[in-house]
Amino acid sequence: MTQDFKRNEATGLDLGWLNHIHVNKAAAERRAASLANRRTVKKEYQAAWLVKAIELIDLTTLSGDDTPGRVERLCMKALRPLRTDLVEALGLQERNLKTGAVCVYHEMIRHADKVLQGRLPIAAVSTGFPAGLTSMETKVREIELSVADGAQEIDIVITRQHVLTGNWQALYDEMVAYRQACGEAHVKAILATGDLVTLENVAKASWVCMMAGADFIKTSTGKEGVNATIPVSLVMVRAIREYYERTGFKVGYKPAGGVSTAKAALQYMTVMKEELGNEWLEPHLFRIGASSLLTDIERQLEHHVTGNYSAAHRHAQP
């Protein structure tokens, strides 16, 4: 993280500003289509972008059948995301290539820490993930326990009904409580955009969470019917840009759920570069929540090096 980076602070809920937020859905979808469908970078430039993409991944396992062994393998893969022969062929020996973080359930924090030992951040999902429908007392305590166990980042889920009923004060108060419970741990606010019905709701929820001190805003838990999309991402990153212009605080962005191909990762990176600039292509301001994405990136880099695609099963699975 850059030394001059300032964490977002709660700026107060501005309902007057919120009431003036409107999203032109047709225009947003046209812009999203133009970003998603343009020709991508090629050859050595694509390889460089894909190496950067590895450093932006929150390597994730959030399954009901997670085991300590699976989490430990995930962490070892996060520390050595590319095979040694590919690292050497790409000239990355001095880069110390790693993913941005690992993301796990609370019960797996200590198993992750046993492998990572401070070399990578541990992100823990919290607050009744994925639905967020447990008591407020339980949700705040869950954050506190995860921080105490060693999580440096907390991915919280908001209460969707606050957005759907327009109860912005309740959403703001909830987010402030989560931010306070996190202490020095950074907090990512998962909006579960697939449940929010409209892009306008997405924009307003983004603003309220940022006003309440969220360090990141994140699209999805990965458990909704619709997860990260380019139109939703466009709305969220434009909210981030305007929030920075108004407050001076830089908030991060994390698409999650369904980002499983190198092509998709490049599309989201293009959105960040075009809408927010190169500074938002660094791990302290951009992460991609994913589990299988790394395998496809590794396959694409092997093709760049050898000219051949390998089967996915030839690559170590976390």
3-state secondary structure of 223: coil
Parallel, antiparallel or unpaired: strands 288-290 and 153-157:
unpaired
- 52 as an active site residue: the answer is no
3-state secondary structure of 217: strand
- 43 as an active site residue: the answer is no
**Tokens 């109860």 — which residue?**
167
- 254 as an active site residue: the answer is yes
**Tokens 């609370």 — which residue?**
106
Alpha carbon 230 to its chain's center: 14
Instruction: Point out the catalytic residue in the list 58, 155, 215, 296.
Output: 155
CA–CA gap between residue 41 and residue 22 (Å, rounded): 33
Instruction: Point out the catalytic residue in the list 98, 139, 218, 250.
Output: 218
Torsion of CA 127, 130, 134, 137, to 10 degrees: 0
Instruction: Point out the catalytic residue in the list 77, 204, 254, 296.
Output: 254
Query: Is the four-CA dihedral 295, 301, 305, 310 of positive or negative sign?
Result: positive
CA–CA gap between residue 173 and residue 112 (Å, rounded): 31
Provide the token pair at 248.
Answer: 């001076």
**Tokens 């705040």 — which residue?**
140
Instruction: Enumerate the H helices of the chain as residue ranges.
Output: 15-19, 25-37, 43-55, 68-79, 84-89, 109-116, 136-149, 160-164, 168-182, 199-211, 230-247, 262-275, 293-306
CA distance to 153, 216, 269, per residue, from 207 (Å):
20, 11, 22
Whats the size of the chain, residue-wise? 318
Q: Which residues belong to the active site? A: 155, 218, 254
